[in-house]
């Protein structure tokens, strides 16, 4: 792939991820825990992991989206939570892609779990309260369910792109 096409793909995927992240902020979600989200931007991260030639390219899409969303109004606290969740989820998904035969759906479900647990651990550290850890079972289930849904969408999109 030529360098310009490669850069354009990363820029396109980053833009798409940022748009999904921002649009999700407008969705009223009946999730059982305050602050829980669907994680629509993760669709793009999964697509990038499957379609871009190097893992670091997908990492660039993720990190660019996280920093741009913080720049566009998130601030430092959301940046910290997004980095923790995004990096934990990304690391888990990369390891599963490399070393297992899990489908993109299963990989995404695990990614959703790791994302929520990492954010919960950061929240407990920031607030200096282990009481927040009582939310772990709920957030774990929410992460697995939303991750499964995101995985279904991402797998469907990857199949259509590969045709």
What is the pLDDT of the chain when averaged over all its residues?
92
* Gap between the Cα atoms of 41 and 63, Å rounded: 12
Which pLDDT value is given to residue 31? 65
Which pLDDT value is given to residue 132? 86
Instruction: Please give the model's pTM, rounded to 2 decimal places.
Output: 0.91
Coil/strand/helix, residue 36: coil
Which pLDDT value is given to residue 34? 66
Crossing angle of helices 55-69 and 41-51, in 10° steps, is 160
Tell me the per-residue pLDDT of 56-81, one tens digit each, with 9 for 90 and over: 999 999 999 999 999 987 788 889 99
- The answer to whether 78 and 27 are in contact (CB under 8 A) is no
Confidence band (pLDDT; 50, 70, 90) for 35?
A: low
Whether residue 32 has pLDDT greater than 70: no
Whether residue 9 has pLDDT greater than 90: yes
In angstroms, the first-to-last Cα distance of the chain is: 19
Domains and CATH numbers, the chain: 3-162 (1.10.1760.20)
* Gap between the Cα atoms of 133 and 77, Å rounded: 19
């Amino acid at each position: 792939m030529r360098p310009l096409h490669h850069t354009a793909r990363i820029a396109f995927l980053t833009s798409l991820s940022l748009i999904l992240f921002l649009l999700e902020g407008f969705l009223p979600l009946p999730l059982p825990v305050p602050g829980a989200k669907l994680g629509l931007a993760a669709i793009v991260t999964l697509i990038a992991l499957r379609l871009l030639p190097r893992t670091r390219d997908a990492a660039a899409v993720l990190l660019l989206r996280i920093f741009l969303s913080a720049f566009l109004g998130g601030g430092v606290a959301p940046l910290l939570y997004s980095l923790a969740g995004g990096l934990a989820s990304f690391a888990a998904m990369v390891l599963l892609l490399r070393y297992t035969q899990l489908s993109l759906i299963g990989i995404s479900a695990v990614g959703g779990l790791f994302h929520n647990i990492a954010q919960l651990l950061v929240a407990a550290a920031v607030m200096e309260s282990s009481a927040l850890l009582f939310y772990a079972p709920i957030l774990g289930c929410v992460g697995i369910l939303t991750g499964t849904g995101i995985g279904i969408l991402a797998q469907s999109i990857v199949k259509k792109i590969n045709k």
